[in-house]
Structures are given as C-alpha cells and as structure tokens.
C-alpha cells in the first residue's frame, strides 16, 4: 500500500477522492449518521474505479440495498470478524493485480500508438477512439496533461506517466492530470517547461501537445516585452555567420562570443523570430560540422549535442554550449596546427603517388613536392598510411600490375614499364616476393580459374 488516509467526515473523504486515485474506500455508517451512504452515492456519480467496503450499524434491508446499488462491493455489520475483512481486502487486491497485469500487457502497444499520434500533424480519430476504449476499461476518468521539457526519465513508462523522446525536438511527458503538479515540483522545478490544460479524451492529444510546445518555446526563447529593453536596434549582418566560422582557429574568438550574445538578445527582443533562430542554429551546426570534421572526429568532440537546441533549458544555455564547443575546437586547432598542416601535406603526397606511380618517384622527390622535411615526412607518412614510403609505393604499383595481368593481354615487360619499373627482372622479383608467384604464374592461375568456372557453367 502506498498511502492509508483517515477522514473524519463525508466531505473530507469526497474531496480527497476527487483529488487523487483511491483504490479502496472503507466507510463506517452509524445508526445516527448516514453520511457513508451519501458518500457512496456521490462516488458513483463520479464514475471512479474505487472499490467500497461498508461497515454499518444499520441492519435494515433498505439501507443495504441502497449501498449495493451505489456499487459497494462488500457489506459488513458492526459485529464482523477481522478475518472476514482481511479476506475481502485480499480478494480485491488480487482483482487489482489482475487488472494491472492486463493493462501492463497492453502498455507497449498503447505507448507506440500514442507516439504515432504525437508525431502526426492531425489526429487519427480511429486510433484515438480505440485508445479511449481500451483506457476506459482500466481508467474510467481518462484525465491527462502534456508536459514539454528537455528532462529525461530513467524509464519511458511508469505508473503515472509516459516519456516520448524527440517529438518535434522536445521530450514529451504524458501524465495523469492529478499527478502533474507533484511531478513538476519534484523533478522539473529548475527547468523551463510547457504544460497543457487538462484533457479527458485522446482525440485532443495534438491540441495538448501544441499547448505544451508553445509554452516551452516561449520560455526557451525568453522573449522580452518592449518596456524591458532600450529602443536601439541590434544589427546582425548576413555575412557574419561566415566570419564566425572562419574565426575558429584564430586568437580572435571574442568576436564569436559577441556575435552569439547579440544573436541571443535579438531573439529575446523579437528582432529575430524563433523560427529564424532555429534555421540559423541549424546552419551554424552544419557549417561547424562540415568545416572542422577532421578535428571533430580525431578529438571525439560531440558536436551532435548542438543539433537540437531544445535539448537545453533555454537559449542562453544553448548558445553558451555553442561557444564552449567552438572554444574547444579552437584550442585544438591552435595547439595542433603543425600536426594538421602536415596531415594535409601527407594526404596530398598520397594522392600524388596514387596518380603518378608510373613515374620514377622517390621519397626525396615527394617530400620536396609537398614542402616537408625528409625525416618528418618519413615518420608522418608511416603514421598516416601504416606503411613506409617504399612499401606503400610498391603495393600501389603491384596492385595495378595484378589488374593488368588479369584484364589485359599486355606482355610482362610492358606491364613492368606501365607500373613504373625500368627493369622487368626487378619487377618480377618484387612481384614474387609479395605474392609468392611470378607474374606469369599469376596470370596462368587466373585464366585457369576462369576456364574451370566457365566449364562448370556450360556443363
């Protein structure tokens, strides 16, 4: 049992039952007071799923019939035995567990159907009516609110609420209306949230969602009224975003901080619309991601955290996070400038080798071609490719030689020359050292394999 509440009057009990779900009510009726009967009648009108046990000093038949008509499950005279009450409570508890299990089996399907509705622009009446029908069997008063937030629960499903992640960029909590305020006070008091009105029909789910999102976005953007700020305009030039991106990696990152501050203030003062800000934030995310993808991957920077502004409590915190992230990229770029500059040169060297392997090239020529110190080039090349320069060049040439042996009728000495070897004997020796067969043996094996394959097909 979660709570046992004792009430001294019919009115106190009635108000308590209206405020929260009560599974079992035990009422006492005396010869001089019929409040218990009045309470049972009121509860019947509320159509709640509250089980009632009556203990009465009044033994007249008309009172008993009246109580049973009000839905009282069990009636005891004032001289009942303890075990009788205990047995009845246990029996009701078993029924409650069975109902709980029945709805529990259906919860995953109900959850997916509700999620489907939340992702639509218009409600699907058939699904809504079906959900109303299923829920009404277990919760007679379907009363819920929608909370829009960036809060994440440990579980998506519990007894009082359901969490739906990333619905139009927000986390959506669908909660029993009478549990909403307590949940907010306990978990969401430090967050800017949006809360819908109370609804009693699933067909209003999209309306509740819109109310929740509107409330959350108003708080997220923290927009001010005219009296809250001076009249001068804040200028945001179109080409500033490009400057913002290019200044990353320099010592002038203060300009980026000021840009973000001006951008936030322009939104708060309604000089830039929330929709325009969201489009701009998406552009900022894409440009950072595309321009600095190399360092983002190498340094395991979680730029995806910027993709959804509503994952943050408000616009201030979101833009602070943007600045912290570009500050990290900036520091890495400055600290590792030589490393990334050399990597670009190594990539250029690899591209040159892959295109010009036929020419008489060596490491001295390539290191000069990309303007790198011979020793540093040797070390960085091996780190980048996993092979030293000689072996890498050899594998590129012999890979092409295999292709020519396989796909053409060129002579061995012609292939040798085509892949950059002036001496066909040196070519054959190098080929055999890598593949354990001579070029002629390789070609013969390849042709034999094709012949056997075709023979089997024809047969």
> Residue 441 falls within a domain, yes or no?
yes
Residue range 226-261, pLDDT digits in tens: 666 555 666 667 678 888 988 888 888 899 999 999
459 pLDDT above the threshold of 50: no
442 pLDDT above the threshold of 60: yes
> Residue 264 falls within a domain, yes or no?
yes
Q: Could you tell me if 58 and 155 lie in one domain? A: no
Q: Could you tell me if 349 and 436 lie in one domain? A: yes
* Structure confidence at residue 228 (pLDDT): 62
Q: Could you tell me if 331 and 343 lie in one domain? A: no
Phi, psi of 148 (to 5 degrees): -105, 125
> Residue 351 falls within a domain, yes or no?
yes
> Residue 232 falls within a domain, yes or no?
no
Lowest mean pLDDT among 16-25, 74-83, 189-198, 357-366: 16-25
Beta bridge partners of 145: 175
Residue range 362-385, pLDDT digits in tens: 999 999 999 888 888 998 899 899
Q: H helices of 292-411, where?
A: 293-298, 315-335, 337-356, 363-369, 374-385, 389-407
> Residue 448 falls within a domain, yes or no?
yes
Q: Could you tell me if 324 and 347 lie in one domain? A: no
Q: Write the CATH number for 410.
A: 1.10.10.60
- Identify the band that residue 456 occupies on the pLDDT scale cut at 50, 70 and 90: very low
Report the domain count for the chain.
4
Mean predicted confidence (pLDDT) in 375-404: 91
Segments forming the whole domain that contains residue 348: 339-458
Query: Residue holding tokens 């094709």?
Result: 450
Q: How many CB atoms lie within 10 A of CB 240?
A: 15
Q: Could you tell me if 263 and 308 lie in one domain? A: yes
Q: Could you tell me if 109 and 213 lie in one domain? A: yes
Q: Could you tell me if 146 and 244 lie in one domain? A: no
> Residue 111 falls within a domain, yes or no?
yes
Mean predicted confidence (pLDDT) in 423-439: 90
The reply to whether the predicted model has a pTM over 0.85 is no
Phi, psi of 158 (to 5 degrees): -140, -175
* Structure confidence at residue 208 (pLDDT): 96
Q: How many CB atoms lie within 10 A of CB 141?
A: 17
Q: How many CB atoms lie within 10 A of CB 385?
A: 16
> Residue 5 falls within a domain, yes or no?
no
Q: Which is higher by pLDDT, 54 or 220?
A: 220
Do 356 and 418 meet the contact criterion of CB atoms below 8 Å apart?
Answer: no
Q: Could you tell me if 343 and 321 lie in one domain? A: no
* Structure confidence at residue 201 (pLDDT): 92
Q: Could you tell me if 74 and 155 lie in one domain? A: no
454 pLDDT above the threshold of 70: no
User: Which residues touch 157 (CB under 8 Å, ≥6 apart)?
Assistant: 107, 108, 111, 163
416 pLDDT above the threshold of 80: yes
Q: Where are the beta strands (DSSP E) in 178-329?
A: 194-195
Q: Please give the structure tokens belonging to residue 22.
A: 């009560």
Could you say which DSSP state residue 235 is in? Answer: P
Q: Could you tell me if 166 and 253 lie in one domain? A: no
Q: Write the CATH number for 53.
A: 3.40.50.2300
Q: Could you tell me if 273 and 318 lie in one domain? A: yes
> Residue 61 falls within a domain, yes or no?
yes
CA angle 105, 169, 108 (to 5 degrees): 5
Cα 217 from chain centroid (whole Å):
18
Q: Please give the structure tokens belonging to residue 122.
A: 């218009």
Q: Could you tell me if 134 and 214 lie in one domain? A: yes
Average pLDDT in the chain: 85
């Amino acid at each position: 049992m979660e709570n046992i509440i004792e009430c001294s009057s019919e009115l106190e009990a009635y108000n308590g039952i209206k405020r929260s779900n009560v599974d079992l009510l035990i009422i006492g009726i005396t010869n001089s007071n019929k409040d218990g009967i009045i309470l049972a009648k009121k509860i019947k009108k509320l159509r709640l799923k509250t089980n009632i046990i009556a203990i009465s000093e009044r033994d007249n038949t008309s009172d008993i019939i009246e109580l049973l008509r009000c839905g009282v499950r069990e009636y005891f005279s004032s001289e009942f035995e303890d075990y009788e009450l205990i047995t009845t409570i246990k029996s009701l508890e078993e029924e409650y567990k069975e109902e709980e299990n029945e709805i529990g089996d259906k919860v995953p399907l109900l959850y997916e159907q509700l999620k489907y509705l939340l992702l639509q622009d218009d409600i699907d009446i058939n699904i809504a009516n079906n959900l109303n029908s299923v829920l009404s069997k277990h919760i007679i008063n379907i009363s819920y609110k929608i909370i829009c937030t960036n809060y994440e629960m440990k579980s998506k499903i519990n007894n009082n609420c359901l969490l739906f992640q990333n619905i139009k960029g927000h986390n959506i909590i669908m909660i029993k209306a009478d549990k909403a305020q307590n949940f907010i006070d306990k978990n969401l008091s430090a967050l800017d949230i949006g809360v819908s009105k109370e609804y009693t029909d699933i067909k209003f789910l999209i309306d509740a969602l819109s109310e929740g999102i509107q409330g959350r976005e108003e708080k997220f953007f923290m927009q001010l009224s005219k009296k809250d700020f001076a009249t001068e305009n804040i200028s945001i030039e179109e080409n500033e975003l490009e400057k913002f991106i290019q200044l990353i990696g320099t010592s002038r990152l203060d300009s980026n901080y000021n840009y973000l501050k001006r951008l936030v203030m322009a939104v708060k003062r309604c000089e830039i619309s929330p929709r325009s800000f969201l489009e701009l934030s998406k552009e900022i995310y894409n440009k950072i991601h595309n321009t600095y993808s190399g360092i983002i991957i190498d340094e395991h920077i979680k730029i995806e955290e910027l993709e959804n502004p509503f994952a943050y409590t408000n616009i201030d915190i979101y833009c602070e996070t943007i600045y912290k992230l570009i500050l990290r990229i900036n520091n890495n770029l400055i600290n590792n400038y030589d490393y990334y500059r050399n990597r670009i040169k190594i990539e250029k060297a690899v591209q040159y080798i892959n295109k010009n392997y036929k020419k008489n090239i060596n490491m001295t020529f390539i290191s000069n071609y990309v303007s790198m110190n011979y020793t540093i080039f040797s070390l960085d090349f091996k780190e980048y490719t996993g092979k030293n320069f000689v072996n890498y060049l050899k594998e590129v040439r012999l890979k092409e030689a295999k292709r020519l042996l396989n796909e053409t009728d060129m002579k061995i000495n012609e292939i040798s020359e085509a892949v950059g070897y002036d001496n066909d004997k040196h070519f054959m020796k190098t080929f055999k050292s890598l593949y354990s067969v001579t070029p002629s043996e390789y070609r013969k094996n390849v042709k034999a394999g094709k012949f056997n394959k075709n023979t089997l097909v024809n047969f």
